[in-house]
Amino acid sequence: KRSKVELIKENSNFLRFPLREELETEAPNINESAVQLIKFHGSYQQADRDVRSGKAYQFMLRTKQPAGIVTNQLYKVMDDLADEFGSGTLRLTTRQTFQLHGVLKHNLKTVMSTIIKNMGSTLGACGDVNRNVLAPAAPFKNRKDYLYAVEAADKLAALLAPQAGSYYDLWVDGEKVMSAEPPDVTQARNDNSHGTNFEGSPEPIYGTQFLPRKFKIAVTVPSDNSVDILTNDIGVVTIVNEADELQGYNIYVGGGMGRTHRIETSFPRLAEPLGYVSKDDLLHAVKAIVATQRDYGRRDDRRQARMKYLVHDWGIDKFRSVVESYYGKQFETFQTLPPWKFESYLGWHEQGDGKLFFGVHVDNGRIKGDAKKTLREIIESYQLSVRLTPNQNLILCDIRPSWKSRITKTLAQVGLLAPRHIDSLNLSSMACPALPLCPLAIAEAERGIPSILKRIRAMFDKVGLKEADSMVVRVTGCPNGCARPYMAELGLVGDGANSYQIWLGGTANQTRLAQTFMEKVKIQDFERVLEPLFYLWKARRTSEESFGDFTMRMGFDVLKSHIETYKGPRTGRSRILLDSDVHAALEKQADEKGLSVHKLASQVLLDYLNGSQDSDSD
């Protein structure tokens, strides 16, 4: 039996009815069917949960811009809209987009049409369609592979944008404010040689049902994992030859983060290699994958509807062969790639054309207050363009070297510091918006993370970890995992009021899933659980071993028993008594090796303990 949302989509005349009617009523909100439809237009209806009397309805708008590219003009427009019609802040998301909160229903049309007329868009930013397509945010002008990645992201976004026109009907009275799309995109969309299309439909790929669920694509270049490539439904990697000419693309499929507490059949999953396609085949191959998910993804249960479950249930080989029937070709062998590296692009970098770019760290992606005002002034007076990163940060582009010191100083005055002046824990952490606006939140995230990070740093200090020691911490208010906590070295996932699941074991380069370590840990108990782990990490890590790798190597049983027996960090030295013959033998050996008795004894004991520890955890 198809779920309720499926019927709403089907009966909506391509996302119009009853949204158009509901938008015209005097009420501050819209009905349930319209709530489902407005998501496809890039908006969520929300109610402020801190307001107890009645429902304080408002709308969140999410923009869509492939590769996070924001023109100078669009930035200024978004900044103005936040002040005039929103809550006065701009939120940067993990998909290189803006979120504008607090828009009232009667202002929606003004806000939407302003964005559209300034060549921005919100179409398909939410809903069961392809969402914003990610690509590395670094504006390198002399790296062809990066330019190919942006071009591919743009084309994939165009290919999979809804076509039936309701967006323009509703928000700009039918005016088509769009730049022309490349001819190969139109050709690929209309091509129906392998039964991918609804012939004659205004939505040739999506039809009346659209996709079973949200759909996410990221494009990158080998080794640059700034886009969390493996958490997407489709991950595309550009492959160039030695002369930097584009050859083709590696394609991964089946990643996704969302899960539901206590439902074992829901889980986060990493994408896996599907194959390689040559450069002219990318659009057709991606369309074939989308058609496969469209026709075989589950439509009865939205919690099982993401493509990752289809790939999981079928296995990659069956999945590939069904995709090939829509593609009309076979995939070639996935090409060998170098290891992935996380890139943040914070701080100053060369753009490759004589100009510079500066990656600004924005705490939790929230641009507000003086920082908002100053960013706006800099962007306006130097006429900079902007890129949004997949980690809720922002890059100022096209900066002349002679402006560098003035810009650095001005930003520093409002607390937007170069990365070396910011706690490394803050640089790599993320939190979702959660309370008070997210209807699904059961615990704090964005509002809670500043104090959580301070407490972690204090624990680090207490157990003797250094300032440079860091880890990837991510916090979400519920298991949907909007801030990708299942890839973190320490993930905190709200599972009750002031209580969290603890996930351990992700990596800094975002290539391994974390695992549930403990559940229902109260926020006031974090020290009891975490301090022993940090202490053990400091005492037992091999050189350079990250916290994520360490927790995986130790095994969760060892970590848990250590928490039980932990008595606080050891300070200074302690004495142990030895029998005199043991001491004499030790002294003799130490002499022979030219070591102190203390040093030799410590070494021998540590070797022994580490050795027995390893066999424990096997």
- By the criterion CB under 6 A, which residues form the site for ligand HEM? 44, 93-94, 99, 214, 216, 231, 256-258, 306, 432-433, 437-440, 480-482, 484
With CA atoms as reference, report the closest residue to 360 among 373, 348, 350, 352: 348
- Nearest distance from residue 480's CB to ligand HEM, in Å? 3
Interface mask toward ligand SF4 for 110-149; x: CB under 6 A? ----------------------------------------
93 belongs to the binding site for ligand SF4 (CB under 6 A) = no
- Residue 162: name its binding partner from ligand SF4, ligand HEM, none (Cβ under 5 to 8 Å by kind): none
For tokens 């999410």, name the residue: 62
Cβ pair 321, 329 in contact under 8 A: no
- Residue 465: name its binding partner from ligand HEM, ligand SF4, none (Cβ under 5 to 8 Å by kind): none
Residue 252 exposure: Cα atoms within 13 Å on the Cβ side: 28
Residue 248 or 448: the one with the smaller Cβ distance to ligand HEM is 448
In DSSP notation, 63-114 reads: ---GGGEE-HHHHHHHHHHHHHHSSS-EEE-TTS-EEEEEE-GGGHHHHHHH
Interface mask toward ligand SF4 for 470-489; x: CB under 6 A? ------xxx-xxx-------
- Residue 99: name its binding partner from ligand SF4, ligand HEM, none (Cβ under 5 to 8 Å by kind): ligand HEM
- Nearest distance from residue 2's CB to ligand SF4, in Å? 24
- Residue 256: name its binding partner from ligand HEM, ligand SF4, none (Cβ under 5 to 8 Å by kind): ligand HEM
Residue 204 or 506: the one with the smaller Cβ distance to ligand HEM is 506
With CA atoms as reference, report the closest residue to 111 among 178, 31, 214, 23: 23
- Residue 9: name its binding partner from ligand SF4, ligand HEM, none (Cβ under 5 to 8 Å by kind): none
Cβ pair 357, 351 in contact under 8 A: yes
Token pair in block for residue 234? 């489709």
Cβ pair 463, 127 in contact under 8 A: no
Residue 303 or 455: the one with the smaller Cβ distance to ligand HEM is 303
- Residue 216: name its binding partner from ligand SF4, ligand HEM, none (Cβ under 5 to 8 Å by kind): ligand HEM
Residue 351 or 429: the one with the smaller Cβ distance to ligand HEM is 429
Residue 273 or 433: the one with the smaller Cβ distance to ligand HEM is 433
Q: Interacting stretch for ligand SF4, rule CB under 6 A, among 122-130, 155-163, 304-312, 427-435? A: 427-435
Total residues in contact with ligand SF4, by rule CB under 6 A = 13
- Residue 93: name its binding partner from ligand SF4, ligand HEM, none (Cβ under 5 to 8 Å by kind): ligand HEM
Report the alpha-carbon distance of residue 319 to residue 423 in Å, rounded.
Answer: 44
Cβ pair 94, 483 in contact under 8 A: yes
Residue 302 or 541: the one with the smaller Cβ distance to ligand HEM is 302
- Residue 477: name its binding partner from ligand HEM, ligand SF4, none (Cβ under 5 to 8 Å by kind): ligand SF4
Report the alpha-carbon distance of residue 100 to residue 83 in Å, rounded.
Answer: 10
Write b or e for each residue in 510-543: b if 16 or more Cβ atoms lie within 10 A of its Cβ, otherwise e: bbbbbeebbeebebeebeebbbbbbbbbbebbee
- Residue 257: name its binding partner from ligand HEM, ligand SF4, none (Cβ under 5 to 8 Å by kind): ligand HEM
- Nearest distance from residue 443's CB to ligand SF4, in Å? 8
Residue 257 or 323: the one with the smaller Cβ distance to ligand SF4 is 257
Residue 42 or 532: the one with the smaller Cβ distance to ligand HEM is 42
Report the alpha-carbon distance of residue 42 to residue 28 in Å, rounded.
Answer: 18
Write b or e for each residue in 407-446: b if 16 or more Cβ atoms lie within 10 A of its Cβ, otherwise e: bbebbeeeebebbeebeebbbbbbbbbbbebbeebbbbbb
- Residue 478: name its binding partner from ligand HEM, ligand SF4, none (Cβ under 5 to 8 Å by kind): ligand SF4
- Residue 551: name its binding partner from ligand SF4, ligand HEM, none (Cβ under 5 to 8 Å by kind): none
Q: Report which residue type is found at 443.
A: A
Backbone angles phi, psi at 495, to 5 degrees: -130, 20
- Nearest distance from residue 446's CB to ligand SF4, in Å? 8
Cβ pair 360, 352 in contact under 8 A: no
Q: What residues between 588 and 607 interact with ligand SF4 by CB under 6 A?
A: none
- Of 60, 103, 445, 463, the residue at the interface with ligand SF4 (CB under 6 A) is 445
Q: Is the dihedral angle over the CA atoms 602, 607, 610, 611 positive or is it negative?
A: negative
Question: SS3 for 460-514, per residue?
Answer: HHHHCCCCCCCCCEEEECCCCCCCCHHHCCEEEEEEECCEEEEEECCCCCCCCCC
> What residue is closest to ligand HEM based on CB?
258
- Nearest distance from residue 523's CB to ligand SF4, in Å? 15
Q: Which residues have C-beta within 8 Å of that of residue 258, sequence separation ≥ 6?
A: 266, 268, 306, 479, 480, 481
Tell me the CA distances in angstroms from 539 to 10, 555, 557, 606, one per residue in order: 60, 16, 18, 10
List contacts with ligand SF4 (CB under 6 A).
432-434, 438, 440-441, 445, 476-478, 480-482
